[in-house]
Structure 1
Amino acid sequence: MRLRGRVTPGSAEDSAADFLGRSVTARAESLLARQSQYLTDAAARDRELAGALALIAKEPSLVDSAWTLHTLAPDAVEFWQAAESRVHTRLRYERAGDGWDRFPLWS
Structure 2
Amino acid sequence: MTTRPNVPGEPTQTGTALLETATGAIQSFAPINKIHEHQCAFHFYAYDMTRQVESHHFCSHQNEEMRQCLIYDKPDAEGRLIGVEYMISENLFLALPDEEKPLRHLR
TM > 0.5 fold call: no
Higher helix share: 1
Asked which structure has the greater RCO (Cα within 8 Å, sep 6+), the reply is: 1
Question: What is the TM-score of this pair, normalised by structure 1?
Answer: 0.25
Question: What is the TM-score of this pair, normalised by structure 2?
Answer: 0.25
Larger Rg: 1
